Amino acid sequence: MNRSGMGLLARVLLAGVLLLGCGQSFGDWVLGCRDDGDCADDQVCFVDGCGDPGRNLVVEVVPNPKEGLFAQDLRVDELRDQQTLLLSGPSTLRARVRVQGPTSSTAYSAPITLRISGESLLIPGVQRRQEASTLDPNAEGIYSLSVASGRYAVELLTANKELPPLSSSSDVQPGSSAMLDFLLPDPSQLVRLTARVLRYDKELMPADVPLEVQALDERKNPLTQRAEVNGPTGLFSLVLRRTDFERDSLTLRVTSTNDLVPQMLVHLDPSRALLEPILLPDYGEPVRLQGRVVDPQGKPVAGATLFVSGSVLGGGQYRSPQVESQGDGTFELLTLPSSPLGSNRELLLTILPRANSPAGSTETSIVVPRVSVSKLGDVVCQQRRKVEGTVLGPVGSLPAAGVLVEATLLKEVAGTPRPASSRVEALRRTDEAGHFELWLDPGVYRFDFTSLENLPRFSRIVTVHPWVSPPPATPQEVSVTLPKGRRVTGYVRLGEGSGQQPDVPNAALRFYRLVAVEGENSALLLGETTSNAAGAFSTTLPLP
């Protein structure tokens, strides 16, 4: 029987198993293929099922940011053994900034800051961020910034802190220019709000507590830039649009760079004059929180990261500085007192043990009284699941040694703490028997297998289930068979009319396959490489 027949038989048998509700291990695999043997002759087993390895591909190419050539994404309709990747010229985000006047608008010519954040147009999950802090306009009054191709949210900040931030969005295609128009408000329509910020007892804040104030709308979007509070006087000044005073409410966000000061929100009635100082709530003095981190067997957990977060006394939101547990599991961190009991506001102690430790991520509600030292005693971590398995090579089902195994978190499991690490690498590559093991928090993971031999990357989706009571005696098992690989070579070149050298040396290339994982569009990294001095590249991708 050929692979097509075997693949059909495997899918029929698997469907029967799933209908009977047996075999929990099968539930870890997406769409019923475990290796290439379950697929037709011209297909490869991917994380979303069997598919043509030469289709649904996108290549991310990062040519040379120093020369204004940022990442471009190229769709590959049909992969060939010899592949030329043709790039466009620089992609540019352009901004036209004007100031509204009584009857018309005029060009704004002072330096600006552009903050852009977004993602690839073609590769789901590939994030792109950039910031230019001192952009000057050209002779036509246009601000220009070279960027990667992508879909962006853009925030504009002026050097004049009294002018409000502006936002917009745009798609930037490879080799193209996207224009954004920003209109700053008419200066005659701006109103200065000056007020004082004091402690709850009407005293000035201590000198080591610098404060900043920013006005927000009902959705917590910024209406102003951040304004510094003058320490010796407590005064600050914000400039808002006249229309902002017609809102139902106005919120001031008060923040500090001091780690022992919470973020506080002060709600104002815009229709009333602000005659009295803004009094910040009494959030108490720092408390030394002491305790010991242990595993379920009572053994100390060393090197775990700990912090406290949540609502504190006075109602502000707080996150403490992070600390690590000592060799004997003990820790001490500075935090602020809890909100009063019965307020339905709690502080959470988060414990993030080291990767590949049997102790797992843990969140526990705590009460921190208003004292100088608070002792928690022993805090018990949850147990991670041990995941182990065997990696086989594509020929003869022989064990594959030297394979790097990584687990990347895709989704949390409801009712469990967020895993400590979004990516966990096995402590050792697979041994001569192809064996590997990992300790993981509950979650849905993509397991990536990277061989030292001339084989492509291989991935599987695995759900690491929470412990049940009592915990299972055996680890969760994951076994895979690596696919065969095809060598793909070619050149990275700039298209005609770019005005630059056609060959693109030292470009970083990443080959992705577009897939659907857990019902969401995603991208699977199949291989990566770098072009040489002549723009030539070579990589290994899956072969049916």
How do residues 197-251 score in pLDDT, each as one tens digit? 999 999 999 999 999 999 999 889 999 999 999 999 999 999 999 999 988 889 9
Residue 153 pairs in a beta bridge with 117, 169
Mean pLDDT, the chain, integer: 87
Whether residue 102 has pLDDT greater than 70: yes
Whether residue 25 has pLDDT greater than 60: no
Q: What is the pLDDT of residue 216?
A: 94
Residue 342 confidence class, pLDDT cut points 50, 70, 90 = low
Q: What is the pLDDT of residue 29?
A: 40
Whether residue 13 has pLDDT greater than 80: no
Distance CA 388, CA 382 (A): 19
Most confidently modeled of 2-16, 65-79, 146-160, 337-351? 146-160
Q: What is the pLDDT of residue 22?
A: 34
How many C-beta atoms lie closer than 10 Å to residue 94's C-beta?
17
Whether residue 11 has pLDDT greater than 90: no
Q: What share of the chain in percent tops pLDDT 70?
A: 91
Average pLDDT for residues 26-52, to the nearest whole number? 74
Q: With beta carbons less than 8 A apart as the criterion, state whether 160 and 76 touch.
A: no
Q: What is the pLDDT of residue 152?
A: 96
Q: What is the pLDDT of residue 345?
A: 73
Cα diameter, the chain: 87
Residue 19 confidence class, pLDDT cut points 50, 70, 90 = very low
| pLDDT tens column, 312-334 | 999 899 999 999 999 999 999 99
Domains of the chain by start residue, with CATH: 92-185 (2.60.40.1120), 202-280 (no CATH), 287-371 (2.60.40)
How many C-beta atoms lie closer than 10 Å to residue 69's C-beta?
24
Distance CA 462, CA 397 (A): 21
Cβ-based neighbours of 352, under 8 Å, separated by 6 or more: 304, 305, 306, 361, 420, 421
Q: What is the pLDDT of residue 248?
A: 85
Residue 28 confidence class, pLDDT cut points 50, 70, 90 = very low
| pLDDT tens column, 111-154 | 999 999 999 999 998 999 887 778 999 888 899 999 999 999 99
Residue 26 confidence class, pLDDT cut points 50, 70, 90 = very low
Q: What is the pLDDT of residue 38?
A: 85
Among the residue ranges 19-28, 116-125, 152-161, 400-409, the one predicted with the least confidence is 19-28
